[in-house]
A and B are shown apart, each in its own frame.
Chain A
Amino acid sequence: MDFFLEVLTGGLLAGLMYSLVAIGFVLIYKASGVFNFAQGSMVLFAALTFVSLLERGVPFWVSFAITLLAMIVLAWAIERIVLRPLVNRPPITLFMATLGLSYIIEGLAQALWGAQVHGLDLGISDEPLEVGGMLLSQFDLFAAATAGALVLVLSLLFNKTRIGISLRAVADDQLAALAVGIKLQRIWMVVWAVAGFVGLVAGLLWGARLGVQFSLSLVVLKALPVLIIGGFTSIGGAIAGGLIIGASEKLAEVYLGPMIGGGIENWFPYVLALLFLLVRPAGIFGERAIERV
C-alpha cells in the first residue's frame, strides 16, 4: 500500500509538470481559439535561450528577463505576421499555421544556439525527501509549488487587472469585446506573451529535468492528452488533467507495464484520453459545443 501511495504521489507531481505546458495551450485557446501546436517549440526556444545566456556568464535573473523579453518580441511577431492575416479563417487553418510556426521556432532556436544538449542546474537538489513515510523527489515538490504559484499569479492577473478582465471578455465573446472597444490584436499579443512566459517557466523546469535539448519540444505531445481530459478552455482543467494523466501513467507503468511489456508511457495517456472523450466529448471542464444548422 505504501508503495502504491508513493507511486501515486510521484505520478501526481509529475503530472503537474505536464499541466505547466498545458496551461500555455489553454491561455491561447481561450483568448483566440487557436490550438497552438507551437507551444512545445516555445518551451524549447525559451529554455535554450535562457541556458545559452547563462552559459555565456549572464546572471540568472538578467537572463530570465532577457528571455522573457525575447518571448514578448516573439509573441508580437507571431501576432503581426501569422495571426493577423489569418483572422476569420477556420480553426483548422490556424492550427496548421501553428504547425508551420513550430517548425520555424525550432529551426530558429537551434540555428541560433546550436543543437547540443545543455545541462541546466536550478540549484535544487534532486535528493528524495521523506514526507509521511514516502520518499518524494524534492525537485518534483518544487515543480508542483511553482505550478501552484503560477496558477495563483495567472488567476490574479485574470481577475484583478484591467488587462486580465479584457482577456476574459475576449475569451467569452470576441464580438462583444470588440463592441466595447477592446483591442483584439493587443489582447492576442498579450496572451501569446503570457503563454511565452508560462513556456519559459515550463522550459526551465523541464530543462532542469531532461536537459535542454531538441526533445524538449516534444513535451507538447505529453500535454495534449492532459488538455483533452481537462478541456481546452479551463486552467483548472489543465491542472486536473495533468494530475489524472500523471497518476494513471505512473500506475499503469508500474502495474500494467510488466504484463504487456514496457514503454507504454508513449501511448497510454492518449488511449486514456480517448476513453475519457467517449464519455465526455469536451473533456471534464471544457465547454460543450452547441451546434445549429
Chain B
Amino acid sequence: MIYRESGQFVTTYGADRRIFKLWQQRWALYTLLGFAFAVVPFIGNDYWFSAILIPFLVLSLAGLGLNLLTGYAGQISLGSAAFMAVGAFAAYNFQLRIEGMPLLLSFVLGGFTAAMVGVVFGLPSLRIKGFYLLVSTLAAQFFVTWVLTQFGWFSNYNSSGVITAPPLVIAGYDFSSPAGRYLLTLGVVTVLAFLTRNIVRSELGRHWMAVRDMDTAAAVIGIPILKTKLLAFAISSFLLGIAGALWAFTYLGTVEPHGFDLSRSFQILFIIIIGGMGSILGNFLGAAFIVLLPILLSNLSANFLAGVVDPGQLENLQKIIFGALIIFFLIKEPSGLARLWQLLRERARIWPQRF
C-alpha cells in the first residue's frame, strides 16, 4: 500500500488526458525534476557532470529518437549515428555562418536538417521492408560519414575534419561550465521528452503502432502508410539530430565525423533494447545502464581484480558482458528495464498483498 488510486476520480476531459493521472505520480515527477534542475547543479562535481550525467542525458535523447522509429513505428535502423552527425555538423555550420544565430535555434535547425536527411533515407521504406530496410539506413551511415569527411566545407576546412563547439551563451548567460552544460542539456532533453511522450499518444503515435504491428492491415483500415513512415523517420531523425548537436557541443566540445560511426549506432540500438522498445522511460533507464556499466566494470576490476585482469582484457570482457546482456534481455524480458519498472510499480500498488 505504497500508493493507491482509490478516491482520485477523473471528472473532466482535461484530467482524463493527463499523462500522470495520480497525484503521487505527478509529485514524484515534480520532485525528480526539481531535484535535477535545482539541487544537482550545486551538489554535483565536474566528473559527475562531464562523464556521467551529460552523456546519460544525450544518449537518452538519442535513444528516444531511435525508439520512435524502431520501438513505435517498427522500422529497424542502424543509421542513428549518421543522423546525429548531420545534426551536429548542421548546428555547427548554422552557428558559424549566420551572424548572431541563437544557440537553441541552431539546435532546432540542426534537428530539421537531420530530419530532412532522415526523410531522404526513409523514402525507400514504403517499398522495402524488414531487413532489406537495414541497407537503406546503413547506406545513410556510411554515406554521411563519407560526405562529412570528404568535403572540408562542413568542418570549415579543418585539416582533420574536427568541429569545435561555439561558446554556449543563451540570452547573455554563459553555459560553458560543466554545471551549465548539464543544465542546458537537461532543459533540452526534458522539453523534448515531454513532446515525444505526447506525440506517441496522439493520433500519429497510434498510426505508428498500427504500422509496426502490421503495415498491410494498417493500410487496409486507411492509415496513410507513406506519410506515417516518413513522419517516423523525420521526427526520429530530428531528435537524433538534436542529440548529435548536444553530443558535440555540451558533451565532447570537439568532435569529428568518425565519432559518429557504426558502433555509436549499435550503442543507441542497445539502449533501446535494454531499456525497452516502445517506451519513453525505457530510454532513460537504458542510457543510464549503458553509461554506468563500463564505469562499474572498470571500478570493480580496479578494486577487486587488480593484477588479475589486465586492462586490455577489460575491453573484451565488457564486450562479452554487453553481448550476453543483450541476449539475456531479449530472452527473459523483451520489453526491457521499463517493463521491470512497471512490474515493480504494480507490486507497490497492491503491497503488502500479492494480488
Contact = CB atoms under 8 A, between A and B. Distances in A.
B189 to A, nearest CB: 25
A1 interface: no
Contacts of A60: none
Interface stretch (A82-90, A154-162, A169-177, A183-191): A82-90
Interface string A199-242: 00000000000000000000001001100100010000000000
Contact of A225 (B129, B135, B216, B316): B135
Contacts, number: 127
Nearest to A111: B316
Interface of A: 35, 81-82, 85-86, 89, 91-93, 95-97, 99-108, 110-111, 115, 221, 224-225, 228, 232, 260-261, 263-264, 266-267, 270-271, 273-274, 277-278, 281-283, 289, 291-293
The dominant DSSP class at the B interface is helix
A232 B220 contact: no
Contact of A267 (B146, B266, B331): B146
Given A93-B334, A107-B317, 20 more contacts: A95-B76, A95-B131, A96-B269, A96-B273, A99-B323, A103-B320, A104-B323, A104-B324, A111-B320, A115-B312, A115-B316, A225-B135, A228-B135, A263-B150, A266-B146, A267-B142, A277-B127, A281-B128, A281-B129, A293-B216
Contact of B330 (A86, A107, A232, A264): A86
B138 interface: yes
A-B complex: 4 closest residue pairs judged by Cβ atoms: A100-B326, A103-B323, A107-B319, A104-B323
24 contacts: A86-B331, A89-B330, A91-B131, A96-B326, A97-B326, A97-B331, A99-B269, A100-B327, A101-B323, A103-B326, A104-B319, A106-B319, A111-B320, A224-B135, A228-B135, A261-B151, A263-B149, A267-B142, A274-B136, A277-B132, A278-B127, A281-B129, A282-B132, A291-B216
Contacts of A95: 76, 131
A215 to B, nearest CB: 12
Contact of A102 (B74, B134, B323): B323
Contact of A103 (B134, B150, B319): B319
B322 interface: yes
Contacts of B151: 261
Contacts of B294: none
B214 interface: yes
B131 A232 contact: yes
B325 interface: yes
Interface residues of B, number: 46
Contact of A224 (B130, B134, B327): B134
Given A82-B327, A99-B326, A110-B316, A274 B139 contact: yes
B313 interface: yes
Interface in B333-351: 334
A261 to B, nearest CB: 5
Interface string B185-208: 000000000000000000000000
Contact of B135 (A99, A115, A260, A273): A273
B48 interface: no
Contacts of A270: 135, 138-139, 142-143
B217 interface: yes
A283 B142 CA distance: 21
Nearest to B136: A274
A89 B324 CA distance: 18
A260 B150 CA distance: 9
Contacts of B330: 86, 89, 93, 96-97, 100
